C-alpha cells in the first residue's frame, strides 16, 4: 500500500516534470513486487531517474506544500485546497517536455528535459549499453531544415568531441535519426553559475578565482586548436560537486553552439552578423569584427569574473543597444568601487581582462592562467608586481637656488635688497648703523 507521502511526492515530481507518470508507475510496481515499504524517492534515485540533490529539493517542496496545506485546513491560508503549485528549482532556460517531441534514439532512454542550448533541447538520458547517464542535445526542428544551422550544430559536436579536457563538457557521439540531428555528451550533475548569481549578491572571491582559473585552462586548451568559444557567460559554466585535492568543486565550460574553429569556418557563417550574449560580449563582437580571437573569450570571461565578485554585470542599460554601446564607450567602474571587499590583486586581473583594446588585455589564456595562479598563492599578478618595482616617474626639475660664494655649504644665498637711498644693493641683513 502506498504511503500518503509517496502519493504526494509522486504528484509533485510529475507536476514539476522531474519524472514521467510511467516512471512513477514503474517504481510503484517495484515497490509492490518487493514487498518492502521503501520510499518511492529512493527507488527513483536507484533507477537513475533522479539525483540525490533533486530528491532533496523536492522533499523541501513537499514539506512546504504540507505546511501550506496545514495552514489552509486551519483557516489561515489564502488559497483553496488543492491549488498549491510546486515550483521547480531549475535553470531559467529549462523547457517542458510538452513543447518538443521526445526523440527516439536507438540505444538511449530519454529520462527528462534538462534545458535549452543555443539551437536545441538538451535531455538527460540513459546509455543502455554502458548503463550510464548522458546528455543528448537535439537540434530544434525549426533549424533542422537550414543547412547553415545544421553545419553549426555539427561543428559544436565536433569541437566538443575534440576538446578533451577536464574543464570542458566532453562530446561523445553525433548522428541523425528519424530526421532529428543529435549529439551525445557527458552528463554533468551540478548548477550553472548563472543560477547562483540570479539569487543575488557577490560570490566568494577565492572560490570565484578558482573557477575562473579552471575555465582559463579550458580556454588555453581550446586556444591550442584555434577554437574560439564566443559565448563565455555564467550560464555556460557548470559547477559540479566533484571534490579534488585542491578544490571543493569543478567548473566545466559547456554550450559550444557559437564556437568558431578557424577562418575557413567563416564561409559557413558569413552572414551571421553579431553573435554572443550582450552583457558579456567583447567590443570586437559588438562591432561584428571578423578577426575575433581568444582575446575576445578572455574579455567575456572577465565580464563573468566581474559579475561573480561584484554581484552585477560590468555594463548595463535599459536596452540591448545601450548595453552594447556601453561595452565600446562607457568607462569601466572598477570592481573595488562597487564591492570594497575585493582585493587589489583580483581587481587588477579583472580590469586587465576587460580592457577595451584587445591589445591591452591578456594576449593568451596562458598569461591569464599564470596571473590567477599567482593570486591564489598570495602573490601579485605579474604586471602588477612589475609596476611596483618600476622607479617612480621623474618630476619636472625645480629651479636650483643660487648659493653665495662666502656662505657655508648648507646656507642658501639671501636675496639682494635694494638700499633705501643710493649705494649698491645690500646682501644679507639691513644696512648697519654707525
Total residues found in the chain within this entry: 434
Nearest to 191 by CA among 289, 57, 305: 57
Would you give the DSSP letter of residue 88?
-
Active-site residue, from 231, 235, 297, 371: 231
Would you give the DSSP letter of residue 310?
H
Give catalytic status of residue 6 as yes or no. Answer: no
Helix H or strand E segment including 31: helix 21-34
Phi first, then psi, for residue 212 (nearest 5°) are -65, -35
Would you give the DSSP letter of residue 252?
E
| SS3 annotation, the chain | CCCHHHHHHHHHHHHCCCCCHHHHHHHHHHHHHHCCCCCHHHHHHHCCCCCHHHHHHHHHHHHHHHHHHHHHHCCCCCCCCCCCCCCCCCCCCCCCHHHCCCCCCCCEEEEEEEEECCCEEEEEEEECCCCEEEEEEEECHHHHCCHHHHHHHHHHHHHHHHCCCCCECCEEEEEEECCEEEEEEECCCEEEHHHHHCCCCCCCHHHHHHHHHHHHHHHHHHHHCCCECCCCCHHHEEEECCCCCCCCCEEEECCCCCCECCHHHHHCCCCCCCCCCHHHCCHHHHCCCCCCCHHHHHHHHHHHHHHHHHCCCCCCCCCHHHHHHHHHHCCCCCHHHHCCCCCHHHHHHHHHHCCCCHHHCCCCHHHHHHHHHHHHCCCCCHHHHHHHHCCCCCCCCCCCCCCCCCCCCCCCCCCEECCCCCCCCEECCCCCCC
CB 194 within 8 A of CB 93: no
CB 344 within 8 A of CB 336: yes
* Catalytic residue numbers, as ranges: 231
Amino acid at each position: 500500500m502506498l504511503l500518503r507521502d509517496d502519493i504526494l511526492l509522486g504528484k509533485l515530481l510529475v507536476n514539476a516534470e522531474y519524472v514521467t507518470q510511467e516512471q512513477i508507475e514503474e517504481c510503484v510496481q517495484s515497490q509492490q513486487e518487493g514487498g518492502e515499504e521503501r520510499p518511492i524517492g529512493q527507488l527513483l534515485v536507484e533507477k537513475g531517474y533522479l539525483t540525490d540533490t533533486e530528491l532533496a529539493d523536492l522533499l523541501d517542496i513537499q514539506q512546504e506544500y504540507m505546511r501550506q496545506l496545514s495552514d489552509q485546513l486551519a483557516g489561515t491560508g489564502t488559497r483553496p485546497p488543492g491549488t498549491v503549485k510546486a515550483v521547480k528549482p531549475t535553470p531559467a532556460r529549462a523547457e517542458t517536455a510538452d513543447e518538443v517531441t521526445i526523440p527516439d534514439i536507438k540505444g538511449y532512454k530519454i529520462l527528462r528535459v534538462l534545458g535549452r542550448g543555443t539551437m536545441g533541447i538538451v535531455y538527460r538520458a540513459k546509455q543502455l549499453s554502458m548503463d550510464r547517464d548522458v546528455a543528448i542535445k537535439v537540434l530544434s526542428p525549426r533549424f533542422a531544415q537550414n543547412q547553415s544551422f545544421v553545419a553549426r550544430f555539427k561543428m559544436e559536436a565536433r569541437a566538443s568531441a575534440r576538446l578533451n579536457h577536464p574543464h570542458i563538457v566532453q562530446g561523445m557521439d553525433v548522428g541523425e535519426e528519424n530526421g532529428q540531428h543529435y549529439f551525445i555528451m557527458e552528463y554533468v550533475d551540478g548548477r550553472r553559475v548563472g543560477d547562483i548569481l540570479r539569487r543575488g549578491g557577490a560570490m566568494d572571491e577565492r572560490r570565484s578565482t578558482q573557477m575562473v582559473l579552471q575555465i582559463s585552462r579550458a580556454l588555453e586548451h581550446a586556444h591550442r586548436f584555434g577554437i574560439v568559444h564566443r559565448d563565455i557567460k555564467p550560464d555556460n559554466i557548470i559547477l559540479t560537486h566533484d571534490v579534488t585535492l585542491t578544490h571543493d568543486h569543478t567548473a566545466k565550460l559547456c554550450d559550444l553552439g557559437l564556437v568558431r574553429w578557424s577562418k575557413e569556418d567563416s564561409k559557413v557563417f558569413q552572414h551571421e552578423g553579431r553573435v554572443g550574449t550582450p552583457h558579456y560580449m567583447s567590443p570586437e563582437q559588438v562591432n561584428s569584427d571578423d578577426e575575433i580571437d581568444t582575446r575576445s573569450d578572455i574579455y567575456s570571461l572577465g565580464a563573468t569574473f566581474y559579475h561573480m565578485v561584484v554581484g552585477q554585470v560590468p555594463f548595463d542599460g535599459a536596452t540591448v543597444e545601450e548595453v552594447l554601446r556601453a561595452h565600446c564607450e562607457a568607462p569601466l567602474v572598477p570592481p573595488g568601487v562597487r564591492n570594497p571587499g575585493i582585493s587589489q590583486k583580483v581587481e587588477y586581473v579583472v580590469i586587465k581582462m576587460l580592457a577595451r583594446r584587445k591589445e591591452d588585455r591578456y594576449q593568451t589564456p596562458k598569461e591569464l592562467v599564470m596571473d590567477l595562479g599567482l593570486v591564489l598563492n598570495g602573490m601579485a599578478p605579474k604586471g602588477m608586481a612589475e609596476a611596483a618595482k618600476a622607479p617612480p616617474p621623474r618630476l619636472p626639475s625645480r629651479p636650483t637656488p643660487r648659493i653665495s660664494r662666502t656662505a657655508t655649504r648648507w646656507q642658501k644665498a639671501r636675496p639682494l635688497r635694494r638700499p633705501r637711498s643710493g649705494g649698491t644693493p645690500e646682501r644679507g641683513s639691513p644696512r648697519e648703523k654707525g
